[in-house]
């Protein structure tokens, strides 16, 4: 027996102990064994004698508890998990008794799988798998799923898979155990052919007729080698070549993200109802986050719009209610007008409710007494007629300007009521103007369209019979002077009434306050939406955990054909992120669609989406998938391949 060079496989005093409760089971004990490249070995022995354990250790699925194992001189007993995954990927090909094919993919795709983890490109993979299947006599079965194949055919597909990465060593654990004798012969013929072509084949069997195909028999009993027919001379040259072949690809990258995504897509499609349910949760979650943020944004927009219309240079003085409350009077307005410089306008305002009768109808409305100038400055636009003039105010003229909606309600949609009379609380007022209707208006501006406006002095003398103002609207000549003006007014009013009797709100402050409120509203609304996203995330986690548990064997198989822990991790995270991303996209579209629908029913933009909101929605979704998918993925990646395959 001549063998040049070191053996391909060398086991030195290898033991494998399992903990079973308090006791330890020795599955393998003190096994010392050399297997040279090109050998065809049958491992025999009664059930429980350690055959599978030996195969798993040789195939780097399992690690020895004692002793040393060298593959091609490499100390495997000291290798890390990635290194062992690499050996499984490049050097070994497993053939299991029960095939371990993936049900959801075709024969061709089953054969291709190991090459995915070896980073082989699709086209090359595809061609090689097709070639392997045709060599195995399965050219007509490439598109079939495992459940459409006979046991013998399935096992031949498994052999194809074992050879996909050009394994130097084929490990077959009772490959004929689940097929009839005719198919068993076929499978053995294939293994024998592999051996003929120089591959190392290690076969577990307890069938002596099967064992006869091998040139060497190793017998195990109770975890020990009890007989070994020894190494026979093989075809060294070709065997060594076969053994070396995979090393050219050893630095190849592992499965790419694109491959993970492809696998994830296939899995998701393979279990449609489960995917749909997970999706639904995410759709609802993202929909609520996005819709909530959209509604909050809509509110902010309309509030900000109404304030922006009032300009940045305005101030509002109003009485402060409470113990030292003082009435705000016309003489205060006069004092401000005469004593404070740099003012564009001083508009004292009074308001109260009143009953209006005009045309055929009557309507109760809010009546604001103010100056024509104040109305103009507020951005109200006349549809017809004119604003009040000084003369109206000075003469207490009984004239009225109607808000657009109010005019419509009293006189009808298309009437032109200027010149007509309305009764306000029983007294006649002539309509001198009608404000333009604005369908888009919202908040304060929508309400104003139902108001009636009378000249200030008319209101004070005729309508309200008081000269206490509700507010004085001030516009500074310049935005920069707002603060100076505000301080001057504060000082003036303190002199007249004592400190703290009035509140002076500065437009910029109101705007800032509104902005703060808007931000809080967004936050609260977003958080409410976020809760449903968290619930959806928990759903994802739940389903992923169930999926991991259900697919334990698949995970074991992927590890056996060379997937690294991080490949498995990436695959499951990818699956979760994909469901979540898809659900996120659907949720966004739903939010956009329903938002547009809601807006079409209301005069104002009730829901407003900014690109920022859409981005937040989508990234929240994907992030939810990644975060909640991570724990299940880690569980999958951390599985012990042997235990997983046993599941």
- The verdict on 53 binding Mg ion (CB under 5 A) reads no
391 is in the binding site of which of ligand ADP, Mg ion, none (Cβ under 5 to 8 A by kind)? Answer: none
Q: Which is nearer to Mg ion, 208 or 327 (CB)?
A: 208
Contact with ligand ADP (CB under 6 A) among 15, 53, 349, 401: 53
Fill in the DSSP letter of residue 459: I
- Cα 596 → chain centroid: 23
Q: How far is the CB of 47 from ligand ADP (least distance, A)?
A: 4
- The verdict on 52 binding Mg ion (CB under 5 A) reads yes
Closest CA to 257 of 246, 249, 268, 265: 265
Enumerate the H helices of 395-477 as residue ranges. 404-411, 444-448, 456-458
**Angle at Cα 495 formed by Cα 491 and Cα 498, nearest 5°?**
100
Q: How far is the CB of 192 from ligand ADP (least distance, A)?
A: 22
How crowded is the C-beta side of 172, counted as CA atoms within 13 Å? 35
- Strand residues in 258-417 grouped as ranges (E): 314-319, 328-329, 343-358, 361-370, 382-385, 399-402
The residue range among 48-56, 83-91, 398-406, 566-574 that interacts with Mg ion, by the rule CB under 5 A, is: 48-56
49 is in the binding site of which of ligand ADP, Mg ion, none (Cβ under 5 to 8 A by kind)? Answer: ligand ADP
Q: How far is the CB of 559 from ligand ADP (least distance, A)?
A: 15
Contact with ligand ADP (CB under 6 A) among 6, 13, 25, 523: 25
Q: Residue 162: helix, strand or coil by DSSP? A: helix
Q: How far is the CB of 25 from ligand ADP (least distance, A)?
A: 5
Contact with ligand ADP (CB under 6 A) among 4, 23, 47, 273: 47
**Angle at Cα 443 formed by Cα 440 and Cα 449, nearest 5°?**
65
State how beta strands 74-75 and 468-469 pair.
unpaired
- Spatial separation of the C-alpha atoms in residues 13 and 530, rounded to whole Å: 59
Q: Which is nearer to ligand ADP, 44 or 574 (CB)?
A: 44
- Spatial separation of the C-alpha atoms in residues 198 and 243, rounded to whole Å: 9
25 is in the binding site of which of Mg ion, ligand ADP, none (Cβ under 5 to 8 A by kind)? Answer: ligand ADP
The residue range among 46-54, 101-109, 400-408, 490-498 that interacts with ligand ADP, by the rule CB under 6 A, is: 46-54
Q: Which is nearer to Mg ion, 98 or 228 (CB)?
A: 98
507 is in the binding site of which of Mg ion, ligand ADP, none (Cβ under 5 to 8 A by kind)? Answer: none
- The verdict on 556 binding ligand ADP (CB under 6 A) reads no
The residue range among 45-53, 407-415, 419-427, 492-500 that interacts with ligand ADP, by the rule CB under 6 A, is: 45-53
The residue range among 41-49, 116-124, 386-394, 544-552 that interacts with ligand ADP, by the rule CB under 6 A, is: 41-49
Contact with ligand ADP (CB under 6 A) among 10, 29, 36, 51: 51
Q: How far is the CB of 84 from ligand ADP (least distance, A)?
A: 17
The residue range among 18-26, 90-98, 305-313, 476-484 that interacts with ligand ADP, by the rule CB under 6 A, is: 18-26
Q: Residue 226: helix, strand or coil by DSSP? A: strand
Contact with ligand ADP (CB under 6 A) among 13, 18, 523, 596: 18
Q: Residue 293: helix, strand or coil by DSSP? A: helix
- Burial status of residue 615 (CB atoms within 10 A of its CB: 0-12, 13-18, 19 or more): exposed
Neighbours of 450 (CB within 10 A): 18
- The verdict on 27 binding ligand ADP (CB under 6 A) reads yes
Q: How far is the CB of 170 from ligand ADP (least distance, A)?
A: 17
- Burial status of residue 286 (CB atoms within 10 A of its CB: 0-12, 13-18, 19 or more): buried
- Burial status of residue 614 (CB atoms within 10 A of its CB: 0-12, 13-18, 19 or more): middle
- The verdict on 48 binding ligand ADP (CB under 6 A) reads yes
- The verdict on 371 binding ligand ADP (CB under 6 A) reads no
529 is in the binding site of which of Mg ion, ligand ADP, none (Cβ under 5 to 8 A by kind)? Answer: none
Both tokens assigned to 465:
């019979």
- The verdict on 301 binding Mg ion (CB under 5 A) reads no
Contact with ligand ADP (CB under 6 A) among 1, 2, 4, 20: 20
The values of phi and psi at residue 146, to 5°, are -50, -40
- Spatial separation of the C-alpha atoms in residues 468 and 520, rounded to whole Å: 36
Q: Which residues would be at the binding site for ligand ADP (CB under 6 A)?
A: 18, 20, 25, 27, 45, 47-53
Q: Which residues would be at the binding site for Mg ion (CB under 5 A)?
A: 52
């Amino acid at each position: 027996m001549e063998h040049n060079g070191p053996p391909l496989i060398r086991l030195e005093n290898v033991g494998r102990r399992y903990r079973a409760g308090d006791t330890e089971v020795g599955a393998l004990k003190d096994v010392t064994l050399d297997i040279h490249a090109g050998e065809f070995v049958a491992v025999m022995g009664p059930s429980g004698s350690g055959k599978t354990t030996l195969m798993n250790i040789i195939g780097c699925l399992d690690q020895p508890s004692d002793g040393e194992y060298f593959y091609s001189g490499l100390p495997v007993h000291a290798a890390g998990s990635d290194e062992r995954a690499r050996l499984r990927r490049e050097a070994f090909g497993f053939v299991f008794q029960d095939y371990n094919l993936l049900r959801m993919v075709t024969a061709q795709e089953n054969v291709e799988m190991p090459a995915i983890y070896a980073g082989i490109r699709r086209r090359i993979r595809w061609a090689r798998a097709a070639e392997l299947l045709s060599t195995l006599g399965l050219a007509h079965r490439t598109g079939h799923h495992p459940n459409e194949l006979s046991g013998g055919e399935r096992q031949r597909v498994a052999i194809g898979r074992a050879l996909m990465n050009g394994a130097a060593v084929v490990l077959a654990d009772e490959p004929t155990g689940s097929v009839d004798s005719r198919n068993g012969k076929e499978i053995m013929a294939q293994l024998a052919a592999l051996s003929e072509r120089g591959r190392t084949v290690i076969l577990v069997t307890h069938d002596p007729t099967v064992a006869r195909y091998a040139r060497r028999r190793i017998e195990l009993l109770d975890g020990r080698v009890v007989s070994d027919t020894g190494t026979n001379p093989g075809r060294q040259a070709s065997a060594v070549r076969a053994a070396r072949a995979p090393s050219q690809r050893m630095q190849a990258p592992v499965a790419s993200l694109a491959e993970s995504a492809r696998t994830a897509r296939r899995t998701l499609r393979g279990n449609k109802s489960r995917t749909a349910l997970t999706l639904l949760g995410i759709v609802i979650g993202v929909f609520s986050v996005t819709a909530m943020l959209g509604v909050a944004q809509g509110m902010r927009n309309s509030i900000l719009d109404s304030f922006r219309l009032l300009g940045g240079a305005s101030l509002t003085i109003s009485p402060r209610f409470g113990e030292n409350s003082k009435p705000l009077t016309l003489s205060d307005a006069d004092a401000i007008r005469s004593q404070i410089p740099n003012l564009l306008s001083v508009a004292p305002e009074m308001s109260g409710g009143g009953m209006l009768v005009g045309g055929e109808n009557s309507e109760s409305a809010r009546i604001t007494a103010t100056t024509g100038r104040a109305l103009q400055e507020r951005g109200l636009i006349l549809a017809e007629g004119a604003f009040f003039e000084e003369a109206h105010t000075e003469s207490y003229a009984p004239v009225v300007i109607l808000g657009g909606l109010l005019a419509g309600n009293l006189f009808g949609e298309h009437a032109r009521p200027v010149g007509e009379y309305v009764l306000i609380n029983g007294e006649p007022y002539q309509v001198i103007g009608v404000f333009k209707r604005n369908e888009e208006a919202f908040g304060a501006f929508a309400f104003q369209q139902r108001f009636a406006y009378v000249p200030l002095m008319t209101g004070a003398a005729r309508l309200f019979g008081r000269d206490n103002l509700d507010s004085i609207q001030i516009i500074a000549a310049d935005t920069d002077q707002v603060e100076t003006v505000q301080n001057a007014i504060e000082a003036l009013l303190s002199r007249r009434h004592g400190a703290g009797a009035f509140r002076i709100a500065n437009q910029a402050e109101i705007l800032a306050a509104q902005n703060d409120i808007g931000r809080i509203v967004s936050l609260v609304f977003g958080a409410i939406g976020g809760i449903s996203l968290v619930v959806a995330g928990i759903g994802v986690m739940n389903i992923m955990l169930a999926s991991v548990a259900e697919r334990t064997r698949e995970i074991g198989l992927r590890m056996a054909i060379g997937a690294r822990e991080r490949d498995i991790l990436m695959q499951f995270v990818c699956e979760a992120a994909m469901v979540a991303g898809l659900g996120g996209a659907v949720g966004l579209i739903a939010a956009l669609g329903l938002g547009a629908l809601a807006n079409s029913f209301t005069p104002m933009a009730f829901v407003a989406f900014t690109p920022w909101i859409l981005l937040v929605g989508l990234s929240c979704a994907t992030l939810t998938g990644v975060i909640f998918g991570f724990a299940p993925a880690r569980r999958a990646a951390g599985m012990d391949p042997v235990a997983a395959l046993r599941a």
